[in-house]
Amino acid sequence: MLDQPTNTPTGPGAAESPLIASLRAAVAAAPQDIPLRLHLAELLLGAGSADAAVAEAALVLSQAPGDAQARALMARAMGAPVPTEQAPPAAPAEQQAGGFDWEAAAREVGDAVPPRFAAEPDVKEAPLTVDGSGAPGEAPAYDVDAPDAPGAVRLADVGGMQEVKDRLEAAFLAPMRNPELRKLYGKSLRGGLLLYGPPGCGKTFIARAVAGELGANFINVSINDVLDMWIGNSERNMHEVFETARRQAPCVIFLDELDALGAKRSRTQHNGMRNTVNQLLTELDGVNDVNDGVFVLAATNVPWDVDIALRRPGRLDRTLLVLPPDGPAREAILRYHLRERPIESVDLAKLVKATDGFSGADLAHVCESAAESALLDSARTGTVRMINTKDLLGAAKAIRPSTEPWFAAARNVAMFANEGGMYDELLAYLKKARKL
């Protein structure tokens, strides 16, 4: 439907100039051409067809939510100087004196442009970078990300998920940060932490945040690196990863998709894979404290497919369940995904309640679907409207949490394969959530 610009409104009784008409035809022929559509919107605004200009700008925003020109044009067409959320929180005094008075403008359009959210929180959370895609780790193989590198994240950047943070603090971070206490209690630094949980819930992001929290370097070993390891040089490659980490200590090695890297050896016919697991075990064991300052984090959606030897004491012996985002985390993620979309009076509290059990990726999908619905509605009626709570709730109702199949499998594992209490945390959650 997006490719049907003939449905776009022209405004009641608007007599179009030949230029606008020909531009319309051009836009119809090239609906993805954003500059062309913006040009048409400019002309429409100039010709006094504000509604039609808003419609065009809205279509541009649906394709490129961050397009500054489109946002400015939309604001102008709607009678506002600029969207309020674009205004800097406190403009320098000299700027205000000589330039545009943002505060006055905001006051002026305050009644015309509805607030973005029905209720603004008292204290705004730090900007959330958990985008739900679960794939911020795009560092190339063996590349070490420095802790002060631009874009380095901390646990404070993770919205909500207080329980996970508390457990990380207790199980991992506190002993790392306090060497004296560690020594006093004889706590070893050996071993690693295995993050597991449904897909799309931010395990990779949390791993990065842990590295940021420790002020450690970060090596991300992804599935592609693993694939390379299977070809002939698996032992040497794995050794090289750990050697690099030891040289760069303190360093966090993050083994993403551990089910691929540490697949059950009894289950695989492939020698390369078996060698990789063997070498990983050797490296995790280390000798003579060579692994001091090397912290191993791993993540998987299917911990039951990970070789049991990897979970023995001294290896990945601590596990942490990363569940779908809780209320505050969902709110932060929704804010993130709505930050550049035209919304009005969105009741976030209601939306957060309606999206219980949704993963970050599901929440992104909800926002996307709601935007699509509002856009189609605008195109159909010829009246541009913002995304509202109804769109979002409708989208949330139509989407089933993608975590459900995972929990169905996890329930079987937690109930029938909970040897050594590895899934106690999951079991407790399932009981609490009445999913057993």
Chain residues that interact with other proteins, rule: CB under 8 A: 227, 230-232, 259-260, 263, 266-270, 272-273, 302, 304, 405, 408-410, 412-413, 415-418, 434, 436
Nearest distance from residue 304's CB to other proteins, in Å?
6
Least gap, CB of 412 to other proteins (angstroms) = 4
Min. distance of Cβ 226 from other proteins in angstroms? 9
Q: At what angle do helices 34-46 and 50-63 cross, to 10 degrees?
A: 160
Q: Which is nearer to other proteins, 104 or 409 (CB)?
A: 409
Q: Measured between alpha carbons, how far is 175 from 68 in angstroms, rounded to an integer? A: 47
Q: Which residue number, 235 or 326, has a Cβ lying nearer to other proteins?
A: 235
Beta bridge partners of residue 217, listed in sequence order: 251
For other proteins, the closer CB: 233 or 282: 233
Instruction: Report, in Å, the least distance between residue 361 CB and other proteins.
Output: 18
Q: How far apart are CA 37 and CA 71, in angstroms?
A: 13
Q: Distance (Å, rounded) from C-alpha 171 to C-alpha 425?
A: 14
Cα–Cα distances in angstroms (integers) from residue 87 to residues 93, 133, 260, 339, in the given order: 14, 28, 47, 13
What is the smallest separation between the CB atom of 51 and other proteins, expressed in angstroms?
Answer: 46
Structure tokens at 301: 């959606």
Closest to other proteins by CB, 124 vs 434, is: 434
Q: Tell me the two tokens of residue 90.
A: 């406190």
Closest distance to other proteins from the beta carbon of 266 (Å): 7
Cβ neighbors of 432 (< 8 A, separation 6 or more) are none
Q: How far is the CB of 104 from other proteins (least distance, A)?
A: 57
Closest CA to 257 of 222, 213, 215: 222
Sign of the alpha-carbon dihedral angle for 5, 9, 15, 17: negative
Beta-strand pair 144-145/251-255: unpaired
Helix (H) or strand (E) holding 220: strand 217-221
Could you give the strand order of the β-sheet that contains 217-221, starting from the edge strand earlier in sequence? Answer: 144-145, 217-221, 251-255, 294-300, 192-196, 318-321
* Residue with smaller CB distance to other proteins, 266 or 288: 266
Residue with smaller CB distance to other proteins, 60 or 260: 260
Nearer to other proteins, 62 or 275 (CB): 275
Minimum separation from the CB atom of position 273 to other proteins (A) = 6
Q: What residues does 299 pair with on adjacent strands?
A: 195
Tokens of 370: 């709601």
Whose Cβ is closer to other proteins: residue 61's or residue 426's? Answer: 426
Q: In a 3-state reduction of DSSP, which class is residue 332?
A: helix
Quote the least distance from Cβ 274 to other proteins, whole Å. Answer: 10
Nearest-CA neighbor of 255 among 265, 270, 268, 245? Answer: 245
Contact 5, 26 (CB under 8 A): no
Beta bridge partners of 320: 195
CB of 239 to other proteins, least distance (A): 19
Q: Which one, 385 or 411, has the nearer CB to other proteins?
A: 411
The answer to whether 330 touches 358, Cβ cutoff 8 Å, is yes
C-alpha distances in Å from residue 215, one per residue of 10, 146, 153, 177: 57, 8, 10, 10
CB of 241 to other proteins, least distance (A): 18
Q: Using the minimum distance from each CB to other proteins, give the nearer residue, 234 or 291.
A: 234
Q: Cβ closer to other proteins: 269 or 288?
A: 269
How many angstroms separate the Cα of 35 from the Cα of each of 61, 62, 80? 12, 14, 22
Bridge partners of 251, per DSSP, are 217, 294
